[in-house]
Structure 1
Amino acid sequence: MHLVKASVYLALYAVMAAFLLASAAMAQVPVSAWTQALGGACRDAAWCLELTGDGGCLLAGEYQAAATDCVDVLLLRTDAAGDSLWSVLYGGAATDVAYGMAGTPDGGYAILGQTASYGAGSNDLWLLRTDSLGALLWQRTYGGPDDDGAYHICTLEDGGFIIAAWSRDDSLGTSDAWLIRTDAQGEVLWDRRFGGPADDFGFSVLPVPAGGYLFFCTSHSFGQGNGDWWIIRTDAQGDSLWSRTYGTPHRERARDLLPCSDGGFLLLGYGQMEGRPDYDVWLMRTDAQGDSLWARTYGGLGYDEGWCLQEISGGRLLIAGWTQSFGAGLEDAWLVCCDTLGNLDWHYTVGGPGCDFGFKARPTPDGGYLLTGMTHSFGSGDPDVLLARLEPANLRCQLQAAGVPTLPPGGGSVSFTAQVANDGAVGAGFDFWVAVRLPDGSLYGPTMLRTMPGLAAQDSLFRPLVQAVPPAAPAGSYWLIARAGDYPGTVCGADSFLFTKEAGRTASGAGEGSWVCTEDSFPGELGGPSVSRRFMAMPEEVALNVSPNPFNPQTVARYELREASHVRLRVYDTAGRVVATLVDGWKVAGVHEVTFDGTGLASGVYLVRLQAGEASQLQKLVLLK
């Protein structure tokens, strides 16, 4: 951080610098360490993930050697680099899949899934108990003559298990949510069914510290009727104490839940927003009685689903799922990080040009993440198991100005040098933006916003900059702030310095005139930030660049096509409404450009989306008047 030479400013500088850094929400955006595609020539997927003590992990899911073969339960052990150490298959003559897994006190695992090979029905619940190397110790099936299924299992203090499931009765034409309690050998101690005149499904369960369980379901029988969230609070014997439903007249789906220290709960799933056919990720916080305290949604213009919820360092929350709205492909695996109130810190996509899905994620002891699911973009199968290792980015931002710059009453400019260094072990991309803290304490900007697509590990970039200060700007002390991260909410590195403007003109706020920050570009920088940060991204079928950004009132969108296709280029506001259609027609391969005029629109953030055939790009725009 720049050392201010004038001693009169030292105390003020220390206080303000601490305030600026504290307000920057220094969440660590991850970067890709590696991505693995594991499996054979046909269908493979991982629905479960548990960490192992040596930095590796254990995955459970499904494996199909060839299209004519049956699907078996897959248990796959990897090392810290994601390479397979061993794998075990379990199954019979039909389809068998694992959807849930939990560790056991002896270092082994309980694997929960569905089997069409064993049991009484067309599909039954299947519980397999293994040792730490995957050797089968025992197995149990649960169910009746019709379809039964399950996604979630918890190991309890006595070594037994609690299972969230559902059971269908074809004679009634409906399914009930099904809660099963077993002992350590898988023998049923009790089971409870919950439901009404329509379909109800159990998806997740957790033991409550005060005793009993919280059962998280999707209900078509209760609530507003088109598939609502339904939580059931039970006693230790599974009998209902109370229940709550949450939802809209549209579709909602339950997926995962976490306990909170005050006795409340965090619920995760996805649902349809008003007037839109697609899903957004939905996160809700409740009190101990199930009353909603707040709810947040995350998503864009496509289908976005949340499947797994984890608490990470600092009390933040990590959501794993998949997105159509962001990333490189038709669907990408997706991580979303938010603070304890659900405010977005960062989001990150993993995938290629095809369909890629995330189902489970776990934080690693070194501050990174493991994400698993299935991929159609990489590997030899269709799909293969997706396993990605992410590490926290380690960007450092430093500013250097000559002393404490002082501007005359007529304004002028402040010259300074910015350095961004990547102190991490892998390459990283970032947004770089500049803002100004005004004498009245308000923040003006960004006065500059750029994207750097890649900075190698242990490398740094220097950039001379000039911040314009208009004549009408009020007299007083200013702070120039530069940040590197994922604009606007995620800051990985920040620095600031003080400058002043002498009295002589009367003004308030920012004053009229230009506040643009200009000068040389970082090598390789783009004209504006990508909505979804994709560090070390693969080459795209289409490329989109909008510059200048921020802009007022016009900017130019340039796009490149590798092959001729139908192109649609539209601008949306943050509510998803189309504010302009720039292109809608057939375009030949090559580079094209079109001007977007924001006259008549309010200052703020907009999204421009390029759709060319099956490829798409999305970029954020800032209209700054």
Structure 2
Amino acid sequence: MNPIVNIFIYSKILINPKNQSILMNASLHALSGSPLRCPAHRPSSLEQKAGRFTTAEKQLGKWSVLLLLFLFPFSLSAQAQPALEWNKTLGGNLREYLYAVKQTADGGYIAAGVSNSAVGGDKSQAGNGNNDYWVIKVAPDGTRQWDKMYGGKGTDELKEVFQTADGGYLLAGNSTSDAGNDKSQNDKAASGGIRGDYWIVKIDAAGEREWDKTIGGTREEILTDAKQTPDGGYILIGTSNSAVSGDKTKAGTESWIVKLRADGSIQWDNPIEYIHKSNIDPTQDGGYIVGGNTTNVPAQDYTDSYIIKLSPNGRIEWSTVFNLHQSELMDVHQTREGQYIVAVKTETPGSGIPYLVIKLGNTGIELWRKVFTTSTANDDFKLALIRQVIQTADGGFLAGGYSDSPAGADKSEDSKGGDDYWLVKMDADGNKQWDKTIGGPGQDFLQTMELTRDGGYILGGNSDSPTGQDKTEASRGEADFWIVKLAPEFNNKLLSFSANNLGFTVTADSSVPAQSVLLVASSGTPQVTLSKSASSSWLTLPSPALGTLSFNVNAAGLAPGTYNATVNAIAPGYAGATLNVLLTVVPGNQLTTVRINAGGPAFTTSDGRVFSEDRYFGGTDRIYYIPDREILYTTDDALYRTERSAPSFSYNIPVVNGDYVVVLHFAEIWFDSPKGNAGKRLFNVDMEGSRKLENYDIYAQADDALAAVEEEFQLKVTDGVLNIDFSKGAANLPTVAAIEVIPKSDFTRTTLTLPAVADAYVHTYFPDENFGTADQLIVKSGEINISRQTYLKFPLTGISEVTSARLRIYGSNVESTMKVNTSAYSVDNDAWTETAITYNNAPASSTWPLARTTVKNVPGYRVLDVTAFVQSQAEGDKVVSIMLKNPTSVNKKLIFHSKENPSGMAPELVVTTRKPVDNSFRMSAGPGLKEEPDNQKSNASTLFPNPVKKQFTLGLSSRHEGAVSLQLITRSGKLYDVKATEQSTASARKQVDLSGLSLARGMYLLKIRSGTATEVLKVLVAE
């Protein structure tokens, strides 16, 4: 009898709707006793990482084989992507720029560049001048072993590093320093001339200086590249402005090549005219290939890429010009077959600045060229810049550089912050196999990369990113070295923690119980190393091992605040695992607010609330997101575009015991089309062991898809951990977009349902007749003299800091079953009255609608999002007037209930504010006012009118102080600087003029930035 196999699948799943392929690098257990079961999945692409674990797995204690699971069609190209093994941030308190990283004989790495930081961070020595050479040696797992500074009193820029035959290193760069400190010779510039020479430093295996050489003429030399030669010497190349003088024996004022022996003495030198920004690589015949840029091309008035083949003694054998418009050659290497591979930066019409890779034969004849483009999204400022191309172990090629572009064209992943490392892997014929984006929330610039002896890659560059995305350590200063080790392609060996996050909340000088996670390897029993990020002495690491690991924190001496640490688990040849640890120290028994962006990165709302990146979750680690979709009833769309969604998951949030209000944020972003999807998702939510939501339906609560809705709950925590459990109900999967945990004493939110103080319709056939006392409101348009529009008025007395506003009208199409458009338009003139308004005296409305809905023959409430307009009126004259009409002229009558209708289903405005409403307004609002408490204070800027034609008035939030800058941002990210003038003596109100900009009709973002705050508002440009 064949045994029945039960397969448990553990994975982290990231669903990207941009393609419908699936890749799961899953871990499978085979146990006898029950049939094969697979969890339900939506048909979307998956990105594999470490996963969640069940009780059965924890008891088993190890994983078996990794398999590729064919649940749905998947992309084979994604399968080969190398996993991130580890990454290291290295730097001081100011700026470090990495130019080279090389693997060393002991399996570790040597990284080299420049620094102007003081002692601190990873720097053990102070500098000598403006910039100095900085070299740092790390172990095979990235652990820092030693660092050294070398320099004089001037500016010293280290460009390359090599390990020498004796186990030491040679450092190559340029310097303006005279003799002193680490420099033994003066700059060779003539008196009063431009300074700068090549500067070579030889150090031993421990980083101690053995000798140095200053090489140059009487003017300026700047080294651009250097390589070790097969004879143990070195070849240097750069630019020279010197005539024959000093070490320069031949005339020529552009590129200058210098061949050195192993002891640093000059073997020969040779200038090359008309080539600059050059790089060099030794060739198999003892010669050299030189790549650079030239402007000396007949009939061209722009820079072109140029390569030259040199003999062993530096004489030109052949050359090639690529005839590319405004190009810059970035890298050239000889392949193992004796041919040449070239990386070029070039501007391509319609494609921005793509990666360009060219393959040449052994005599310089072009064999093929490949262009890899990114999605510019109609914005030429979102680009890619290639830095290097290398041959890979399988005979293909890897191009590397950086890009801030979103997914699109040849780029399969969105930017992770600003610029990110971007790799493109090709086969031997230049056909793309895969691409990979690696980065943190800030700016990350790849400078160099190298094939490692295990078939993986070492990447080096510069970063100002904090912890987040792929970056596991915090920034040390303004810019740091960032080194990334990638495992070999097709490597299925990985480490994984059973949770991505641990959180501790303690009072000052107290202790809390340890917390444990499981560390497992997908196969084998590798020797594991654990390390933690800098400035985390409060976290005690367990002994490194597979299995259950217990982590402790010690808050003694720590000031109240939040402390972050990153724990990295690595093993040779394995993709590493990362654990984020958060320590929150609170004074005494003070309760603190926790906000989490479920499934997403850290996010700050327009009113200043800070949501952390997703943490404290357990269960199936499954995330879904949508890009660039409008979310109703919020100005913080990005908060609702990501969600945690899985058959079951939980949040276990450490808090100080006490009374809290929990606010759950939802939006139906999966079932977004067609509309009318109530009942498609029904799920349950439990808190502290008590059922809070039963078969909850997001769509039904919001009355729409892609619409924000919040639910709040009051509860008491007594065990130091708030437990929130999400489970399947009658349909589909549970989901949540964000979570707020707020001390009850700090919770303030008010939701008011405001009745209309005036409502009436006007009629084109009876232009002077008033219909204000009718029990119905009519909307119709079509044939001449039949059109009717409805006017509504609501008071906002005592209301400010509005966060959302929804207009609710009850009615139906009484003439057919078709759905008819009903749109809401803003009305600036509030002087009309219910008993006097007619078609002839009705105030004008905006030309572009605030919102629209459809009305069919089934009576019911229709909801329109009028948040932006109500916000502007709350900060203005405290009155909201809205006109309803059908802009499509379908000639169907829509009837809505007026405030005179006995049904009681009168028009109403549901307003949410994060500020208490004045008592005087509560007393005067009358019996129609309905109020319920809600959450936290808001203070956002407002603008009116919105939609905008040419000008609008901006009401600045009190959070802004001093000078304010404004930028209008297109959907593609293009920026327009706009200016504002004061509209009145009140500096908080400014007039903004857009008439000088050529803007298409549509939605834009207005970024408002001051010395004290930054916020973003939506602007709808009508024409």
Question: TM-score by structure 2 length?
Answer: 0.39
C-alpha distance in 2, partners of 1:358/1:97? 18
Shift of 1:306: 1.9
CA distance in 1, matches of 2:344, 2:102: 21
Separation in 1 of the partners of 2:370 and 2:171? 32
Pair 1:159 & 2:236 matched = no
What's the counterpart of residue 270 of structure 2?
A: 192
Deviations 1:541-571 (A, max 9, x none): 777579779999xxx9899999989663359
- Whole-Å separation in 2 of the counterparts to 1:50 and 1:585: 44
Partner of 2:114: 62
Deviation at 1:333, TM superposition (A): 2.4
Deviation string, structure 1 residues 17-66 (Cα, Å, up to 9, x no partner): xxxx9994575213333332211111112111111244421011011125
- 2:295 paired with 1:220: yes
Partner of 2:254: 176
> Is 1:569 matched up with 2:971?
yes
Matched, 1:320 2:415: no
Alpha-carbon deviations, 1:115-144, whole Å to 9, x = none? 011421312111112222222222112222
Residue aligning to 1:583: 1003
Offset of 1:281 from its aligned partner?
2.0
- Cα distance in 2 for partners of 1:393, 1:424 equals 13
Q: Deviations over 1:396-447 (max 9, x none)?
A: xxxxxxxxxxxxxxxxxxxxxxxxxx8622589xxxxxxxxxxxxxxxxxxx
1:105-116 correspondence runs (5 A): 105-116=165-176
Cα distance in structure 2, aligned partners of 1:242 and 1:336: 30
Q: Larger deviation: 28-37 or 75-84? A: 28-37
Give runs of aligned pairs for residues 125-164 of structure 1, distance below 5 A.
Answer: 125-164=198-237
Say if 1:526 and 1:566 are closer, same or farther in 2 by CA, change over 3 A: farther
Q: How does 1:93-104 map to 2 (within 5 A)?
A: 93-104=153-164
Which of residues 376, 385, 389 is equivalent to 2:481?
A: 385
SS of residue paired to 1:569:
coil
| Equivalent residue number for residue 386 of structure 2 | 306
| 1:525 Cα offset (Å) | 4.0
C-alpha distance 101-27 of structure 1, shift in aligned 2 (>3 A): farther
1:329 and 2:417 correspond: yes
1:564-608, Cα deviation, whole Å (9 max, x unpaired): 896633599xxxxxxx986324499xxxxxxxxxxxxxxxxxxxx
2:47 is aligned with 1:47 = no
Match of 1:296 in 2: 370
Could you tell me which residue of structure 2 aligns to residue 283 of structure 1? 357
1:273 matched residue in structure 2: 348
Alignment equivalent of 1:424, drawn from 494, 502, 514: 494
* Distance in structure 1 (CA, Å) of the matches to 2:168 and 2:149: 16
Greater shift, 42-51 or 376-385, is seen at 376-385
Any conservation in 2 of the 1:373–1:386 contact (CA below 8 Å)?
yes
Change (3 A) 1:567 1:226: closer
Q: Is the 1:131–1:137 Cα contact (8 Å) retained in structure 2?
A: yes
CA radius of gyration, larger in: 2
Q: How far, CA to CA, are the matches of 2:625 and 2:497 in structure 1? A: 20
Q: How far apart, CA to CA, are the structure 2 residues paired with 1:128 and 1:211?
A: 24
Displacement of 1:176 after TM fit?
A: 0.8
Structure 1 counterpart of 2:441: 353
User: Is the contact between residue 299 and residue 325 of structure 1 (CA under 8 Å) also seen in structure 2?
Assistant: no
Q: Distance in 2 between matches of 1:201 and 1:366?
A: 35
Whichever structure has more strand as a proportion of its residues is 1
Change (3 A) 1:106 1:458: closer
Between the aligned partners of 1:357 and 1:235, the Cα distance in structure 2 is 34
Partner of 1:517: none
**Do the aligned residues in 2 keep the contact of 1:567 with 1:587 (CA within 8 Å)?**
yes
Is the alpha carbon distance of 1:281 and 1:33 closer, same or farther for their aligned partners in structure 2, counting shifts above 3 Å?
same
Within 5 Å, give how 1:4-19 maps onto structure 2: none
The match for 1:253 is 328
Distance of aligned partners of 1:221 and 1:544 in 2 relative to their CA distance in 1, 3 Å threshold:
farther
Segments of 5+ residues of structure 1 without an aligned counterpart are: 3-20, 396-421, 429-455, 460-521, 531-539, 573-579, 589-611, 615-625
Aligned partners of 1:194 and 1:151: how far apart in 2? 14
Q: Residues of 1 paired with 2:221 and 2:231: CA distance?
A: 26
Deviation at 1:164, TM superposition (A): 2.1
- Residue 170 of structure 1: CA displacement? 9.7
SS of aligned partner of 1:314: coil
Displacement of 1:268 in angstroms is 1.1
CA contact (8 A) 1:279 1:304 kept: yes
- Residue in structure 1 matched with residue 651 of structure 2 by the alignment: none
* TM-score (structure 1 length as normaliser): 0.61
Which residues of 2 match residues 202-601 of structure 1 at below 5 A? Answer: 202-222=277-297, 224-249=300-325, 251-274=326-349, 278-300=352-374, 301=376, 302-326=382-406, 327-378=415-466, 379-391=475-487, 424-426=494-496, 524-526=622-624, 544=641, 568-570=970-972, 583-586=1003-1006
Q: Which runs of 5+ in 2 are unaligned?
A: 8-72, 119-126, 179-186, 190-194, 245-251, 377-381, 407-414, 467-474, 499-518, 523-619, 629-636, 643-667, 675-704, 709-736, 739-937, 942-966, 975-999, 1009-1014, 1018-1023
Write the distance in 2 (CA, Å) between the matches of 1:269 and 1:230.
Answer: 10
CA displacement at 1:185 relative to structure 2: 1.7
Aligned length: 442
CA contact (8 A) 1:317 1:339 kept: yes
Against the structure 1 CA distance between its residues 299 and 112, is the aligned structure 2 distance closer, same or farther, given a 3 Å change threshold?
Answer: farther
Percent identity, aligned pairs only, is 23
What SS does the aligned partner of 1:268 have? strand
Q: Determine if contact 1:280/1:297 at 8 Å carries over to the other structure.
A: yes
8 Å CA contact 2:626, 2:641 repeated in 1: no
With over 3 angstroms needed to count, the CA separation of the structure-2 counterparts of 1:582 and 1:22, relative to structure 1, is closer
Q: Relative to 1, partners in 2 of residues 1:286 and 1:426: Cα closer, same or farther, differing over 3 Å?
A: farther
CA-CA distance at 1:458 after TM superposition: 6.5
Cα pair 1:367 1:391 within 8 Å, conserved: yes
Q: Which amino acid is the alignment partner of residue 184 of structure 1? A: A
| Structure 1 position 79 matched with structure 2 position 139 | yes
Contact 2:1007 2:1016 in 1 (8 A): no
Matched, 1:120 2:188: yes
Tell me the distance in 1 between the aligned counterparts of 2:458 and 2:483: 7
Q: Deviations over 1:215-265 (max 9, x none)?
A: 11111223744221111112222111221111423x211222221244320
Q: 1:170 to 1:225 in 2, by over 3 A?
A: farther
Q: Give yes or no for contact 1:315–1:339 (8 Å, CA) kept in 2.
A: yes
Q: 1:78–1:306: structure 2 CA closer, same or farther, 3 Å change rule?
A: same
For residue 228 of structure 1, what is the amino acid of its counterpart? D
1:261-289 deviations in whole A, cap 9, x for unaligned? Answer: 4432001131111256x422221101112
- SS of 1:146 mapped into structure 2: coil
| Paired amino acid for 2:487 | E
- Give secondary structure in 2 for the equivalent of 1:388: strand
